Structure formats: structure tokens, C-alpha cells
Structure 1
Amino acid sequence: MKSPAWYEPYAGLPAVVEVLFWCILAITASSLLSVAVLRINAGRVRRRSMPEADESEFLWVFMVPALNEEVTIADSVARLRAVQATHKVILVIDDGSDDRTPEVLQGLAGPDLSVLRRDLPEARRGKAAALNAAWRHTHDVVLAQGARTWTTDRVVIVVVDADGRLSVDAPQHFARHFVDERMAGVQSRVRIYNRRGWLTWAQDVEFAVFGGVYQLGRTAWGTANMGGNGQANRLAALDDVAVDEGPWRHRLTEDQDIGVRLLQAGWRGAQEMNATVEQQGVSSLRRLYRQRTRWAQGAWEAVGLIGGSGRAKVSSAARVDMAYYLITPVLQLLTGSALVGAVLLAVVKSRVWLRLSGFDFLMLRWSRVAPSMLLRPRPEVDS
């Protein structure tokens, strides 16, 4: 019995192309299923009541990596000073700035501000190196000089970019998650504050969807990842995944890397939609291309972490989702290849159709003209 047409949608195509298109169909279906499950999870999290907590039970260390930030650093420190935290330290990592950043920071001196100056050749080795230096500084200086003895499970490291604007009540919202002793990190909701143009507005929508669906959906499983700006991590969890230099590794997306490794070490992650960090969006296509190229390369680096997904202390569905998330670059490569293949097939088939159509047109014209030529009287030739 002949199979129905819908069962063989790619019949007649080259075998390699047919297999590729079937893979893309499976990827599309699984992606839709994943989004549906995460959307249901996100709704459950929104309806869930959070436990009561007091932010004064924690020491909040706000780490601000700064390289030549003379224009923004004063505003950054002022905004963090306005954040409502009973016990807090603002730790600025001056990563070898050669502008007026050191002078501006000197003028902002206060008991709540600690400046870690890094000079070449140690400085300017990337954000991971700066954060690792701040991690060591927190252990060696901040905790040692504190008037109160803080255990590492009661110290929360909050990473804020120099252009970041953290909501003033963020610590109170974070604290509700850190009541769970296995909670390693909480990611703030990311907004774009210069969302006036279409490009920056689109980035704001992108972050809103990612945080409100994907991140919040994974919060139900405890597998929400970190996003770099506005992420809060328990110091004890960072210590648990630290290697020789520190918790962060030299990756193009060091935030994604440490978030995944924390989950694979048995810790939990969450998204907090009531705590917001605003940042500047890129306003040109060229800068957006460079940013997304770096993110794509970082995602390929993270593919190597897929082997540790089975160690995470989460449900089987969450493990599958973690693995699916890590192989996203591979799925995107297959999808892109299928798109190129579809375009090439369309072009080839169109050329064949046009060629056949042109031949058919000529034959049609000849079939109409030939009889009249055969029946036309021959002209007489004078002898």
C-alpha cells in the first residue's frame, strides 16, 4: 500500500537533504514542546508564594568590574549606595584603567567602598580574571576586616556591570531565594534602559522573553542559569566550584559557564523577576553582530559541559532540558544548514522550471505557427 503524501513530505529529495529536513522537523517539534513546558512551569512559579526572609541576615558584596569608566563609575557607586542592604560592601575592580577612573574612585572613598586596583601585566585579562581577583580579595580583605564574622554561606556576591542599574530593593527579593541552603545563584530581570530605538527595544523584548519564560520556567526545576550582570551568588557555592585561579574560568561567556557548573555541582539556580538590573543595549548593527558573535563562540565553548548534566541533583526532565540547552549551537548549525539547503533547492528547481517553461512556450508557439506556414500558398516565380 502506498504511504499517504503527508507521511513522506520530503520524498524525491536527495537522501542527505531528506535526513537533514527530518532532523529539522524533529528539532522544531521538540523546541515547541520545550517552550510549552517552560511556559507552564513559569506560570507555576509566578503563582508560588515565596518564604519570608530578611536581607540583614546576609553580607552583600557588590562587585563592579571597571576599565576606563571615568564617565559612569561615580553614578554606578551612587546607585549601589542607594541599594537597601543593611550589611554591604561595594567592591570596584579597577582593572588597569589609564583614564581618570582611579581619581574618581578616590573621591568617592567611604567605609562601604573597597577598591581593588589591578595593574599590568595582571590587569586586562578579561572579566573572569577580574572577578577571580575580587573573589580572593573578598576572602583575604573584606571578610577579614569585617566587624562581624560572616560565614561563606551568609555572604552573597552580586556582580553588577559598570553601566548596570540594580533596583534598590533587590537584596530583599534575593534573600527569599537564599533561604534555601542549596541555592547557589539568583539572576535579576534584565531591562534595557535606552530602549528608544527599534534595535534596543528589540533587545529589551528579547531579555524579557528569555527571563519570563525560559529562566522562570527553569526556576521551577532549580536550573535557571546566570546572566552576568545582576547575578547574585552565594560565596560558599563559588568556593565549591573554584579551581586554581578562582570560580570563574576564562570563557567568552563566563557567566553561562559558572552557572552551568554550579548546577552540575548539585547547587540550584533561580530567576527573580521583581529584582531588576537595567543596562545599556547596543544601538548599532555592527556592535550587535560583534556581541552575538562572542555569545555564539561562548555557547560553543559550553557544549563541552554537556557530560556533567547527569550529575545535577534535579529531575530527569530538568536534566534533559539542561542537555538540550547546551547543544543549542549544534541545533542552530543544523537549522542554518537546512535553510541554506532549502534555498539552493529552490533556486535549482526554479531554474529547471524556467528552462522547461521556456521550452514548452517555444513548442507551443511552433505548434500554432507551423500549420499556417505549411498551408500558406507558395509564391509564383516568373519564368
Structure 2
Amino acid sequence: MPAPEEIWTAAVRWLDEVIGFIVHIYDGLPLWALPIFIVAVVLIIASTFSLVVLAVRAGTQLRRAALAEASGGDVADESDYLWVFMVPALNEETVIADSVGRLSEVRVTHKRILVINDGSDDRTGEVLDGIREPDLTVLTRVAPDARQGKSEALNDAWRYLHRVVLGEGTYRGWDPQRVIVTIVDADGRLDPMAGRVARFFADERTGGVQSQVRIYNRGSLLTIAQDLEFGVFGTVFQLGRTGWGTANMGGNGQFNRLAALDEIAVEDSEGRIGPWRAGRLTEDQDIGLRLIHSGWRGAQSSTVTIDQQGLHSLRALYRQRTRWAQGGWQVLDLLGPTFRNPHIGAVAKCDELWYLLTPVVQAWVGLSVVLSVVFLATGISRPPLTVFIVVLAYVFSALPGVIGVLLARRGRGLWGFIVGVVLAHLYLVYSWLIYPVVYRALLRQLTGAKGWAKTKREAIAPADPEDAVEP
């Protein structure tokens, strides 16, 4: 064992090295660049701290869920609720039958399936006509109302739900407090035991619950990386916020209490009422935040999953992620309501503000990375590079991803740990690969571009997700 003097000497040497690095790292840089790098360092440290806090809180939620399931406390009476599954469908002939078929297998007592055929010009309507499912209703939208956006399609289904489903027949007069609206994308494969989320809605303050999203066609490095992306977001960021009631909605596999949706309904430019705001590219993120602002709680389920298609094409992935990133820029208009939200505590409010600022943080840190490469390549900057400094830089760049992936892939032994560390580096490469979308999205937002070409679905992959490559 080292003597105390040796430990002290090593500590002093380490501290001197850190101080020297901090003092001289910006030597030779233009003065205009210094604020960019200083702010970037602060943002990186804050991001790492935020992730560690959320990871610890997510671990707590996982332990509570495991204890509840082991003791039988995870069982809730789904029969207390009417489950309404809304499926927006625009040219979904390759996947819509599979999605509806799986919804018919969801084990809940009271159920309606509303598929919104939003002006499809392929065989989607024909496929739907051939499905014999007593709980299925197809809402066909035609021009000029069709193809106005996912928000408009969902609002149409929301109005039909009130007017017809709750206005006549079996479920006439059913209390909106006990109606759970579930959004399922046309490629979605919802967990047959989805009714387990009823335990969250036993708390009358819960307005939304998000299921864990998985990629079922994960047969390539790109789709495996997407599966890791959803796993990290759902497990770390979403579960970490569940205790505060600020977990946001993620669209596919999103459960919302109808009474909560009714409360935040707004009128569009055509005078039509609906919960989803028109023109929002990430309508799920927008509605989740507005539910929280209205005093409803948001939660993430760690047991109920929904599987969806991943994208094998990098070009298609860039298009999809750019749309999502532009949606992130759009919701910056909710910074004010978030700051004024009286329904959550100061810590939760700071976290939600930080979450909203994600695209700003990403853009700023990315700019510092680009400038670093330029300055190093041109010889403008020559920071001292020792083994310790390289290791420190590696830890700050890779540690968040490693923590996230290991938590998302929990409980798989030593081999699972090793595989998790390897996959974490794949996730890190993937994250930088799609990083430019934040700038592309900002450019589109600044220029007012809103049009999007729909990503074409792939032919149905193996029916059982276990047949795919397991990351």
C-alpha cells in the first residue's frame, strides 16, 4: 500500500496537471473564440451532471417497479378503463394489417381501434377493408382535409371519439377520466399486456404514460444503434423524470387520459377544436409538455413496450431525425410557460428547462468541436496533451453514453457488461454521425420550411422480435 506521502505527492501532481491544462488549453486562440469554448465546457459539465442525476433517479424507479411486480403491486384493474387506440395511417399498406392485428390481441376488457386513413393513395384503404375486427373503425379523410399533418389527423379522431364512441352505443356517457387514448404508429407492435399501465392512471393526476420503444428489425449496426437510442432515452431520461411527473410523451406507444387531452384542447385557424396543435413536427413532445404545464403528471413505463421499424437507410434516418430536431427547435416557445409552471418544484423545473434547451446546447457544443478541429489542423492551438488529459477528455465524451447504455441493458452479467461497453461506443459514433441534423433543422426552422416527404416503410420483418439481432 502506498505511503501517505506518496499519495499526497501524486494528488498534488495530478492537481497541477489539471490546473496547467485549464490555464493553457486556450493559449493562442483568437479572443472571439474564447467565450464559445468556455461556455461549451460549462455545458458539457452540466450535461454530464444532469445525466448522472437522471440515471440515479432512473435506477430508483427500476427498483420500485421490480419490487411492485414481485409483490403483485404492479397489477392494476385495466377493466376500469376504456382503451381507445388511434392509428394515423398515410400510405401504410405494408404494415397496417400487422399493427391492427396486434392491437386486436391487446388484452383489455373495453377497447376501440380507430385507424385514421389520412388520404392514402396506395392499398391502405383496401387492406383495412379486408380486416374483420369488431372493435375496428376506419376514419377516412379526403381532400382538402386529408394530409394536413399528424396533429390534424389525431384531432379528427379525438372529435369522433367524443361525438360517436362516447356519444352513442356501448360507451355512451363513459367518463373521460376513465378513457385512455393510445397513439400507435402504423408500424407499431404494441405489447399485448399494455393494460398494465393502468397502475399509473390509478393516480388521478397522471395525464400521460409513455411505453418503452424498441426497434424490431434490428438486423444491422444502424438499426441496433437506433434501438440503443430509444432504450437510453426511455430508461435514463424518461424514467429519471418520472418521479417528478415530468416524463414527456414520445408519440408511438403514448397513453393519454382523455380528460387531460380535453383540458388542453385548442382551436386551430379553421375553428376546429383539438388537443394537438397544428403544424407541430413533434406533436408528441409538444402535447406532453403542455399536459405538464396544465398540472398533469407524465410517466414512463419500464415494462410495457412498443416495437417499431428502424431505418436501414442513412439518408432516410437523416430526414427523420431532422424533422424531430426541428420539432425540438419549435418547442422553444414553451420556455416561458415552463418557467412559470406552478405545478412542479424548482429542481424539476430546472431539469425541464434544460431539456427544452437541448437543441441549443447541442448546437453550441457542436460548434466548439468544429472550431477545435479547425484550430488544431491549422496549428492555431496546441494544447498540452498528456495521458491523463486524454483519459479525462475520453471520460467526459464517452462516460454519459456508457452509463446510458449499461442502464438500458441492465442485468445481463459480466458478458452483458462487456457487450454493453462495446455497444456504448457504437452509440457514441452513431450520436456524432447524426449530430449535423441539429444545424439542418435550425436552418429549416429559420427559413420557415415545414414540408416533409414521408419515409417509406419496409416490408414486414420477422414477426417475432426475438428473431432479430439482439443488441
* Coarse TM-score class (shorter-chain normalised): 0.7 to 0.9
Q: Any conservation in 1 of the 2:375–2:381 contact (CA below 8 Å)?
A: no
- Give the match's secondary structure for 1:210: helix
Q: Any conservation in 2 of the 1:68–1:100 contact (CA below 8 Å)?
A: yes
- Give the match's secondary structure for 2:106: coil
Q: Any conservation in 2 of the 1:312–1:319 contact (CA below 8 Å)?
A: no
Deviates most, 286-295 or 42-51: 42-51
Task: State the match for 1:5 in structure 2.
Answer: 20
Q: Of 111, 114, 118, which residue of structure 2 is paired with 1:88?
A: 111
Name the CA shift for 1:351/1:188 in 2 (closer, same or farther; >3 Å): closer
Where does 1:241-320 land on structure 2 (aligned, <5 Å)?
Answer: 241-244=264-267, 245-249=273-277, 250-310=279-339, 311-320=341-350
CA apart distance, 1:98: 2.1
Task: State the match for 1:366 in structure 2.
Answer: none
The answer as to 2:358 corresponding to 1:328 is yes
Q: Any conservation in 1 of the 2:27–2:381 contact (CA below 8 Å)?
A: no
Amino acid at match of 1:318: A
Amino acid at match of 2:353: A
Q: Any conservation in 2 of the 1:11–1:18 contact (CA below 8 Å)?
A: no
Matches of 1:241 and 1:167, distance apart in 2 = 28
Matches of 2:322 and 2:59, distance apart in 1 = 32
- Give the match's secondary structure for 2:354: helix
Where does 1:44-63 land on structure 2 (aligned, <5 Å)?
Answer: 44-48=60-64, 49=68, 52-63=75-86
- Give the match's secondary structure for 1:147: helix
- Give the match's secondary structure for 2:286: helix
Task: State the match for 1:163 in structure 2.
Answer: 187
Amino acid at match of 1:20: I
Amino acid at match of 1:30: A
CA apart distance, 1:220: 1.3
Matches of 1:343 and 1:71, distance apart in 2 = 45
Matches of 2:96 and 2:376, distance apart in 1 = 54
The answer as to 2:83 corresponding to 1:30 is no
CA apart distance, 1:102: 2.1
The answer as to 2:154 corresponding to 1:131 is yes
- Over aligned residues, Cα RMSD in angstroms? 1.8
Task: State the match for 1:154 in structure 2.
Answer: 178
CA apart distance, 1:70: 2.4
Matches of 2:344 and 2:322, distance apart in 1 = 31
Task: State the match for 1:216 in structure 2.
Answer: 239
**Larger Rg belongs to:** 1
CA apart distance, 1:51: 5.9
Task: State the match for 1:360 in structure 2.
Answer: none
- Give the match's secondary structure for 2:121: coil
Task: State the match for 1:194 in structure 2.
Answer: 217
Question: TM-score, normalised on structure 1?
Answer: 0.87
Aligned length: 349
Amino acid at match of 2:323: R
Q: Any conservation in 1 of the 2:209–2:256 contact (CA below 8 Å)?
A: yes
CA apart distance, 1:262: 0.7
Q: Identify unmatched segments of 5+ residues in structure 2.
A: 1-18, 268-272, 383-471
Q: Any conservation in 2 of the 1:263–1:312 contact (CA below 8 Å)?
A: no
Question: TM-score, normalised on structure 2?
Answer: 0.72
CA apart distance, 1:109: 4.2
CA apart distance, 1:132: 0.6
Identical-residue share of aligned pairs (%): 55
Name the CA shift for 1:33/1:152 in 2 (closer, same or farther; >3 Å): same
The answer as to 2:200 corresponding to 1:177 is yes
CA apart distance, 1:53: 2.0
Name the CA shift for 1:109/1:142 in 2 (closer, same or farther; >3 Å): farther
CA apart distance, 1:164: 0.3
The superposition leaves residues 273-312 of structure 1 with CA deviations (integer Å, 9 ceiling, x where unpaired) of 2111000001011111111111111110011111111315
Amino acid at match of 2:274: G
CA apart distance, 1:86: 0.2
Amino acid at match of 2:182: V
Matches of 2:180 and 2:27, distance apart in 1 = 58
Where does 1:43-122 land on structure 2 (aligned, <5 Å)?
Answer: 43-48=59-64, 49=68, 52-122=75-145
Task: State the match for 1:375 in structure 2.
Answer: none
- Give the match's secondary structure for 1:188: strand
